[in-house]
Structure formats: C-alpha cells, structure tokens
Structure 1
Amino acid sequence: MKNYTPYTSHPTFKIVLSCLSILGLSFSYSNRIFAQEGQPLQVQNFDYWAELCSASLKTQTNQQQTQTDEEIIKAYEEAIKACDQAIALNPNEPVAWRDKGNAHFAIAQYAEALAAYSQAIRLEPKNSAVLAKRCASQSKLGNYQDAISDCETALRVDDQWDTVTRGFALYQRGVAQWQLSQGEKSLLEEALVSFNLAIQSNSDYSLAWATQCGLLTDLGRYDEALVSCERALQVNKDWGDRTAAVAWTNQGRILAKQEKYDLALESYNQAIAIDSKDEVAWTERGAVLYTIGKPGEALTEHQWALKISPNYSLALANQCATLNQLNKYDEALAACEKAIQEGDGRWGQEGVAYAWNHRGNALTGLSRFEEALASNNRAIALQPNYADAWINRGVALWYLGRFPDALAATQQATEINPNSSKAWFNFGRIL
C-alpha cells in the first residue's frame, strides 16, 4: 500500500485551511489535496496557489521574530514554491510575480527578486509598489543608476502603492544616490534631499532618520547627525529590514569621531545587544578599542565581525591595523591583502586607501621598505588628503635614507591635519 502524509502533519496545513476557506472550499475537500509523501500538492487551481503564496508571506512576516534563520529561510522557500505553482498555472498574473519577488527579497535572493519584480512590471507597468521594490533590489545588487530610475518612475506614476509607501521609494532613491556618490559632496546632498523627503512623507520612519544620521556623519555635520539618530531611536518604528541597531551604530560612529570614546562604546554595546550579528557594530567597536590603546580587545571584536561576514573589507582592514599594533606583521599583511583582493567592497568613509595604508605599515614592520613606500603611495593616489598615509610614507622614506623626501611627506601630513600629534612628532624626529 502507498504511504500518504497525514494532512494534520503537513507543514502548511493551517495556511491551507485558511486558503480553502477564502476560496470557499470545504474541509472535506482539503483531505484530498495532499500529495504522496515527498511530492508536490496536486491542485490545479491558480487562486488556491496564489492565495497560499500570499498567506504564507503574511504569516511569515508575523512569525519571524521568534524563528531561527534556518526556519525563516525554509518558510520563505515554501512560499516561493507556492508562488511558482501559481505562476505555472497563470504566468500573466502580476500579483503572483510580485509575491514571489517579495519572498526572494526577504531571504536576500536579490537577483531572483529582481527577475520576479521585472515580470510583474512587464505585466503591470504602472505599479508604484513593485517599481519601488525593484529599485531596492537594484540597489542591493549595486545597480544604483537603475535603482534611481525605478524609484523615480514609481514616484512619477504614483499609483498602486499597496503596503509600500512614497516614503519607501524616496528612501530607496536616497540609498542609491548615496552609494553612487563615491563621497562627492553634491551627490551626497542629493541623497540627503531624498531622505528629508522620505521623513516628510512619514515622520515615524526610523530607518530613514537613522540613515540620514549616517549620511550627515559622512558630511561632517555631527550635531545634526546626532539629532537624527536620537529621533530614530525615540520614534522606534518602521525599521524595514533593519533594526534599531543601525541607529545605535551610527550614533557610536559620531561619538567616536568626536573622541567621546566611552559614550561611543556604550552605543555600540546597545547595537550589539539588539543585533548580535551586526558585523558593522562589532568592527567599529573594535576600532574604538584600538584607538584607546586596547589592541587585544580590539582584535577580538574584529574576529567576531569576520565570523559573521568573512569577507567584510573594513573588518579585515581593521584586523590588519590592529595586528600591526601588536607587531604581528605577517598576519597583518595577510589580512590587508585579503581585504584588498577578496573583500566585499564595504570600506567605510576612507575607502580602500585605508587597507593600502595599513598594508604599507605591515611591510615597514617587515623591513620591506620599497614595497611599503609603493603601498603608501597607492593609498595617497586613492585619497590625496589622507594624512595618515602621508605620515607613513614619510616613515618608509626615512628608513630608505631619503630624508628630504621624508620631511616633505610629513610636512604634507601636518598641513592636511594640523592637529595630528603623530605627524608633528615625526616631523621633529626627522629634523
């Protein structure tokens, strides 16, 4: 006799019953829809599968606070299967494509989400909600110009927003503009306008407040940035796919720049308490510990960040800098080279020049002075106003016996940052 799975033990039983009710199907009918064990359900009804797809997404959104990562992924994969069944029965229904895109997006399958949203838009070109979600997918994939175009189309069409809002589209446009700016002030200001408009559209949009805080920090407007982060935490709503940890991390970054290191550490502690998998908070807390002369503790923080995200460029570069401080130059060099060659491109404000600079320090520590000089030169070529790279260039030149060049490099560092005690100390030594 063939073995059939009892309907009461099927993982989607409760959702199926609710869908059957919505479709007006009887409970007795539900006994006949479960397939042989290991086989898909044999229901040739588009409405059934479309509703199961949609209901699975709604149920999962409400439950995932109490689930493990594995359970969350499995649940969304089940939703995707239901969406695929619906699409197989009627590929010209945009809602099924939209829901499929939402499920893929929720588990960071951004290329698949983009493809699904594109199909939905092909069928329904003036759906602002789907255009805005495709904008978000484009940003996640690094297609920032395409993302801006999609968000601007969503805002121009201004129709069928569903649960998505204009504020979401404005926010996502700002994210893409920020990433596209590469630090250029005029483009950063454009992104700031988008975040301001998102907040005007929804004053309780905590994620927009927190992201505005981060952007203002990059612009050096620290007092305004702190106000934005505090507002995000005060409101504590609408975090999207993030948590309040992002605001605490951004606040920690500002306080560190203001040399309020104890307060910065407190902010990072709050971020990690909320989200222990926030690799940014871990490595930035490590950077503060490095700055206040606790390299051993700093190294542990960077290692935690790299357990979460092994190719996180900034964490690898921070690990390199910390290992240099601990005189572990071979390990430092390996960390910096991995950051440059295999890193994920998330560098923070100083960019890849940061890794080239500390790579130069590691090579100086290994007495490979010509290579060190080349590495410091690379850092300066990438970021000409990088005072620390000029200081370290001067050190490499000094070891090579090129004292006038060393003096000129160190003097350049003092002109870039007149408050650098390290630059003035080295300047005095060379003289």
Structure 2
Amino acid sequence: MENWKTGKSGRLQATLVLLLSLCAYPVWGRDRLENLKDPNYWTQLCLLLAKSKPVEALPACERAIELRPGDPKLWAQYGALQLGQKQYPEAIASLDQAIKRQPKNSQVLADQCLAWAQLGEAETAIAACEKALKLNVNWGGRSPVVAQHRRSLIINQPEVYQESIKFYDQSLKQEPKDSLTLVYRCEALAKVGEFRAAIDSCEQALNGNGNWGGETPALAWSNRGFAYRSLNELEPAVQSLDQALQLNPTQAPTWFQQGTTLRQLKRPNEALIAYTRAIELQPNSSQALLGQCIVLNQLQQFDSAIAACKKAIAADGDWTPADIAQAWNQQSLALTKLGKLEEALAAADRGVGMRPDWAEIWNTRAVVLWYLKRPDEALASVQQALKLNPGDAQTWANQGRIWRSLDQPDKALTAYAEALKRNPQDAVVWANQSAVQWLLGDPNAALESANRAIAANPKLGLAWQNHAIALVALKQYAEAQKSYEQAILWDKTNADSWAGLGVVLLQLRQYDKAQQSLQSAISLNPNQAIAQQALKSLTDWQKQQSQKSPKP
C-alpha cells in the first residue's frame, strides 16, 4: 500500500481533506485564498461544491473561469449551475461560451434547450434540443432522454410523444431500470391516452435504479395520479397525488390535479383547500381559479365564486375555450342564486358566445330565462341544449319545468319521464312529476311518484309535501297529516306545507291544532291564499258555534 503522504492516491486524499476542511470553515476563514491563482484549486472546488452546495459553487467556478477562460468544461459547469438556480439568461450566455470552445457538446445544448424553454422561447429551445440529439456526443452528466423529453413537451403533439416513447424504449434496452427514462415514458404514454401502460411505467420508475436526474419521484406519483384520474379511478388517483405532494408540496399543477379529482369525488371542502394551495403557488392560474369558482358554487358561497371566476377570466389565460365558457357559466349560476337575474342572463349570453356548441351553457341560460318569467325564450334555449346533448337528464328536467309553466302538463310529464330514464335517483324530478300527475287528475300515480322521491331522498321536504297532497286527493287525511309533518320537519319555513297541514287538521276536526298551523303559514307568508281562506272559514265557524251556545 502506498504511503498516504507520498503516493498518488495519498496526494488526492490529502487534497480532498484540505478542500473539505476549507468548505467547513466560516466565510472569513477563506478570505485569504481569494488571491490564490492556482486554477486547479478553484476548478476542483467548483466541481466539488457543484453537487453538494451549488450556490457556493458559483463564485468558485467564476474564479476558476477567470484563471482558465478557455476551458469549455468550466463554462458548461457554470452554465449548469446557473440553470439549476433559475438564472436562465445567465445560463444561456455561459453555455454559449462553452459551445464556442467545444461546438460538439450535447450536454451544453440540452441545458440551453432547458433554459430557452423556461424563458418561453419555444422554437429556439426545440432547435437546441434537436441539435443535441442529432450530435449525440459529450452528454456528460446529462441524459439524452432529457432533451427528448423537453422537445416533446414543447411541441406537445401526439405524434411527437409517440416518437418519444420509441426513443425511451431504445434507451431502456441499455438500462431497463433507469428511473428517469421510465418516468418520462410514463408521462408520454399518459399524453397519448395509454393510461394502463403509463401506470405500469411509473411504478417501474418508482422501483427502478433511483436515477432521477433533475427530477424526483414526485413526478412519477403525479403522472400515476393523472393516469388513474383519466381512467376515472379516483381514489387511487387521490392517493398517488397525495404521495406526490408529500414529496414536493410546491408543485401548483399537482395541487390543481388533486383539487379536480376531489371535486369529481364530491368532496368540495377538500377540493377547495387544494385549489387554494395551487393559487397560492401560482396566483395567476386561470385553471386553478376556475376550479376554485366551481367548488365555491357547490359550497353555496356565491359571492366568492363570482369573484374567483372573474379573476380566472383576467388571469394567465392558460386554458381552453371550454374553460372560458365554464367561467361565464359558473358566474351565471352564482348570480341566479343571488337573484341577480339580468346579470346572470348577461353572463350566460357571454358563455353562449364563447361556446355555442356547448349544451350546458344553453341549459343554464334556459333556467335564468325561466326565473325571469320568459318561458317561451327559456323553452327555445332548453331545446337547443337538448339538440346538442339529448342524453342530459337535468336538461330534460328543466324542460319539464318550463312546459309546466307554459300550462302544458302532458308535455311536462313526457319531459320528466325522459329525465328519469337517464337519472332514476333524482328525487326532485320524481317530486315534480308527482305534482304534474296530480294536476292531470291521477292521484294514485302522483302518490307513487312521491313515494319514489322519498325513497331517493327521505329528507326532501318537497317530496313529503307532494306525498301529502296526493293522500289528500285520495281522502287519506290521517296519512296526509303524517306526510305534512315530515315535510315541515325538513323544511320548517315552507308556508304551503303549514297551510296544507292546517286544512288536513280541519278535516280531522283538530281545530286548535289546525288554527295554529294556519297561523304559522300566514306568519311565514301573509299572502298564502289557502291558509287565509281556511282560517277565515274556521273563524266564521267558531263564531257560529259560539252564537249557538246557550247563554248563561
């Protein structure tokens, strides 16, 4: 064995000990070396610090370049460090210096490609990546798959992703367990809709050799989550995205994906948290703001929903025409709930203008027009929605409401039947169908529809109310009383239910309770005609009975 003081390995070991001890000193301990003009010292320090302390490596690399300005490797290392610190213009300039001194260098060109891409210079970035791949020499610490990956992301076309998949497959023949190649392959497979294969590739990446290049395992979990969500397998999607966010909680796109998945799972409170986090990281994201707007509407926070959608429209615009139309649609829905119907109609009209081939915005517009008591226009709008999407249950249900307001109960019944074919669990539609059947003089059918409504949603006051109305028509007053009481249990502010209960109690000769119910109805709605008439009849009858009573 060589003596550590005299042998080559000993001298290297001694140099490393010295350098590491210098790195451990506080800043003032190294000041005296600033004037050291040994290029080998600064070059070694630059390379050593680049892996462990990239920020501290920058001044060491600068000093090395001052002493050895013709060294392309130093310029390449310096540019790579600047790229890692997101100093993109500086990185491009330094990498240019490396290329001047060594034109055939794929690593430098690939790094330039990454920097140009971050600056939004797509064509220049693609050209640099393609040149790096064409040269295919001197990759250094950069893998060729990085250049291929960046090129495919910038071009963002299916045929380019297919090319990339073939490229990754070739690379994997040399290193089958390379995590970086496998995760890029996963991403490309997901982009072309091969979601099962994508999931398998991401899982292979997670179980691979641990070489992630400049990426982290979070990318594999995120792409795995995207693939599961695309397959509508939402629970494993949430779990994958959770893993990604635990590893890297600063990725706004992953928070956005998580928010959308949770929204699809009908977990709006959690979705709101995820969207809000995405917006904190990327305040100008139109997509995240739109997602926030949608869940705020679901949570009935309508003013906040409107504000979020307005911000989305004014933000970065990185979304599709469908998203813009949805932003106007969501505004219209919120404004309708707030009773601002003219503004709601204006928003719906903007949505129609943005996307006239979208059924949902025509349906929203129809609802607004119905509330504005413009049923003929509402009918035309809902029919346009059905022309575009005849399979939507809610649109058929809305058409039923409009036909009913136009005093066309037969057509309303047909529309409700179409809605229930497509969604037999919609309690409100069953309840509305019950009301129409009662109007058409079929109380037995009305009772059956009300029973279906109650089965679908036992807490729906409207269902119990219509159940009671059908029982009254069948003169089953005791049962009707129970149904009205259930209706009031779930909706204590419904004056019509209180009035109906009062009338039933009159039939059952429970006069004191009847009077209390009728008075409750009038206190809730002084213009409730049935309660007014019944209470007057009861009062008149009580006066008559009082007059008939023998005087003492």
TM-score, with length taken from structure 2: 0.60
Q: Confirm whether residue 88 of structure 1 aligns to residue 66 of structure 2.
A: yes
Secondary structure of the equivalent of 1:238? coil
**2-side partners of 1:28 and 1:260: how far apart?**
54
Q: Which runs of structure 2 are paired with 1:12-411 in the superposition (5 Å)?
A: 21=15, 41-58=34-51, 60=52, 75-178=53-156, 187-202=157-172, 203-235=176-208, 237-343=210-316, 347=319, 355=327, 357-366=329-338, 367=340, 368-377=343-352, 379-380=354-355, 388-389=360-361, 391-392=363-364, 395=367, 401=374, 402-411=377-386
Larger displacement relative to structure 2 (147-156 or 84-93): 84-93
**2-side partners of 1:348 and 1:20: how far apart?**
61
Given that 1:101 and 1:113 are in contact with CA atoms closer than 8 Å, whether structure 2 keeps it comes out as: yes
Secondary structure of the equivalent of 2:389? helix
- Report the count of equivalent residues: 381
CA shift, 1:153, in A, is 0.7
Superposed CA RMSD in Å reads 3.7
Of the two structures, which has the highest relative contact order with CA contacts closer than 8 Å and spacing of 6 or more? Answer: 1
CA shift, 1:127, in A, is 0.5
**1-side partners of 2:209 and 2:21: how far apart?**
46
CA shift, 1:130, in A, is 0.6
| Deviation by residue 1:247-272 (Cα, 9 ceiling, x = unmatched) | 22222233333332222222222222
Distance 1:37 1:235, change over 3 A: closer
Given that 1:356 and 1:378 are in contact with CA atoms closer than 8 Å, whether structure 2 keeps it comes out as: no
**2-side partners of 1:131 and 1:51: how far apart?**
24
Distance 1:26 1:424, change over 3 A: closer
CA shift, 1:37, in A, is 8.5
**2-side partners of 1:315 and 1:360: how far apart?**
19
Distance 1:216 1:326, change over 3 A: same
| Deviation by residue 1:379-427 (Cα, 9 ceiling, x = unmatched) | 427xx6x565555455556556432552254125416xx4x54455445
Given that 2:333 and 2:344 are in contact with CA atoms closer than 8 Å, whether structure 1 keeps it comes out as: no
Q: Which amino acid aligns with 1:87?
A: I
**2-side partners of 1:39 and 1:363: how far apart?**
70
**1-side partners of 2:223 and 2:212: how far apart?**
14
| Deviation by residue 1:308-355 (Cα, 9 ceiling, x = unmatched) | 443344322211111121222322232233334344x65599665554
**1-side partners of 2:38 and 2:163: how far apart?**
47
**1-side partners of 2:353 and 2:91: how far apart?**
38
**1:14 maps to what in 2?**
none
TM-score, with length taken from structure 1: 0.74
Secondary structure of the equivalent of 1:47? helix
**2-side partners of 1:85 and 1:325: how far apart?**
59
Given that 1:132 and 1:150 are in contact with CA atoms closer than 8 Å, whether structure 2 keeps it comes out as: yes
Larger displacement relative to structure 2 (258-267 or 400-409): 400-409
**2-side partners of 1:363 and 1:41: how far apart?**
67
Gaps of 5+ in 1: 1-16, 61-74, 179-186
| Deviation by residue 1:21-80 (Cα, 9 ceiling, x = unmatched) | 27x9999999xxx8688898222343332332221112x1xxxxxxxxxxxxxx432212
**2-side partners of 1:365 and 1:405: how far apart?**
22
CA shift, 1:375, in A, is 3.9
**1:70 maps to what in 2?**
none
**1-side partners of 2:79 and 2:110: how far apart?**
12
**1:6 maps to what in 2?**
none
Given that 1:363 and 1:371 are in contact with CA atoms closer than 8 Å, whether structure 2 keeps it comes out as: no
Secondary structure of the equivalent of 1:235? coil
**1-side partners of 2:22 and 2:240: how far apart?**
56
**2-side partners of 1:27 and 1:189: how far apart?**
50
Once the two structures are aligned, what percentage of the paired residues are identical?
Answer: 33
**2-side partners of 1:25 and 1:236: how far apart?**
33
Distance 1:234 1:326, change over 3 A: same
**2-side partners of 1:223 and 1:175: how far apart?**
21
Q: Which amino acid aligns with 1:314?
A: Q
**1:3 maps to what in 2?**
none
CA shift, 1:94, in A, is 2.1
| Deviation by residue 1:258-291 (Cα, 9 ceiling, x = unmatched) | 3322222222222223333333333322222222
CA shift, 1:364, in A, is 4.7
Distance 1:281 1:28, change over 3 A: closer
Gaps of 5+ in 2: 1-10, 404-552
CA shift, 1:100, in A, is 1.6
Secondary structure of the equivalent of 1:92? coil
**1-side partners of 2:63 and 2:370: how far apart?**
69
**1:68 maps to what in 2?**
none
**1:183 maps to what in 2?**
none
**1:7 maps to what in 2?**
none
